[in-house]
Amino acid sequence: MKRTIVTALAVVGFTIGLAAQGGGGRQGGPAPNETLSQTFRESHGRDVAYQLSLPGFKIFDNLYHVGVGTGAPTAQAAPRPAAPARPPIYPTKQQFEASADAQRLVAAAKQLARDDLAAEFENTCSFTGPERAALKRERLGLPPMKDYTVEPTKIFDNVWFMGLASQGAFVVTTSQGLILIDTLNTTEEARDILVPSMQKVGLDPAQIKYIVLSHGHPGQTDHTGGANYLQRTYHPRVMMGTEDWDATLPAQKPERRLAQRDVDIRHGDCATARVVALEQAGTK
């Protein structure tokens, strides 16, 4: 129930942003501190333009990839020494508070949240919408938080969470092998954090049969950065949406190569869903 309500709050938070206007992963290598680097700033404009161009499309079964707009990608200016101006991605505090539509949605979300989801409500139903801790601290002028590796955590049934406080991956265990969803940020994080975390709970990374990359960002590698190492080392199939392959591969950096393009996930595909369902079918 709590998961359902948190999802509802996230949707409400996104809707609030649109109403108030009238209508971002951890970067860098395995540095101890998470901060919004110049590299992130320069790539963010490209990433926003790409996301604004995406229509929604069905990946498989009940999973959709949803963009935040439609239309053709816009041309981007060359990076400048200072952080480039970026399109507004949420309203100002004044716009948010003055919007009757936004405040109506906030009131409805607060009624859903009650006391047990107060923290989620405060993070989601604001003029920024859902905001990562590192970006909120930067906006408030606070020093960056120290990142750390989390203990491998079994969320439920056959699903594990592993990785960093700032960036994680999911491992799905089945009788046919392992499915890895996302790969952290770099080769070093995959090798030194993800693989040892799997081994710590008795999971053999050599049994990874599929890597599913949830999405990509042009010029950024917060979900895709470890896939190259895992692909070369353990030889799983690597899957990502066609549009994400198209956007991320041309923008990859020589010092941080992405995985070789393997399987395109297209509208209507259900191969991944069948793989995930293998273990579920055996437990019914």
The DSSP output letter for 207 is: G
In this structure, the number of other CB atoms found within 10 A of the CB of residue 67 comes to 15
Q: Where are the domains of the chain?
A: 2-139, 153-283
CA distances from 82 to 39, 43, 64, 239 (A): 11, 13, 36, 36
Residue-wise pLDDT tens digits, 143-197: 887 888 999 999 998 999 999 988 899 999 998 899 999 999 889 999 999 999 9
User: Strand 237-241 to strand 263-265: parallel, antiparallel, or no bridges (unpaired)?
Assistant: parallel
Q: What is the per-residue pLDDT across 85-113, written as a single tens digit (0 to 9) for each?
A: 555 556 788 998 999 998 999 999 999 98
Q: Output the furthest CA–CA distance in the chain (Å, rounded).
A: 58
In what side-by-side order are the strands of the sheet with 237-241?
A: 153-156, 159-163, 168-174, 177-181, 208-212, 237-241, 263-265
- Range with lowest mean pLDDT among 24-28, 76-80, 92-96: 24-28
Task: Quote the CA–CA distance of 65 and 170 in Å, as a whole number.
Answer: 18
Q: Which two tokens stand for residue 160?
A: 């594990």
Domain 153-283: top CATH class: alpha beta
User: Measured between alpha carbons, how far is 60 from 179 in angstroms, rounded to an integer?
Assistant: 16
Give CA–CA dist 20/130, Å, rounded. 15
* Other CB atoms within 10 A of residue 204 CB: 12
The yes-or-no verdict on residue 233 having pLDDT over 80 is: yes
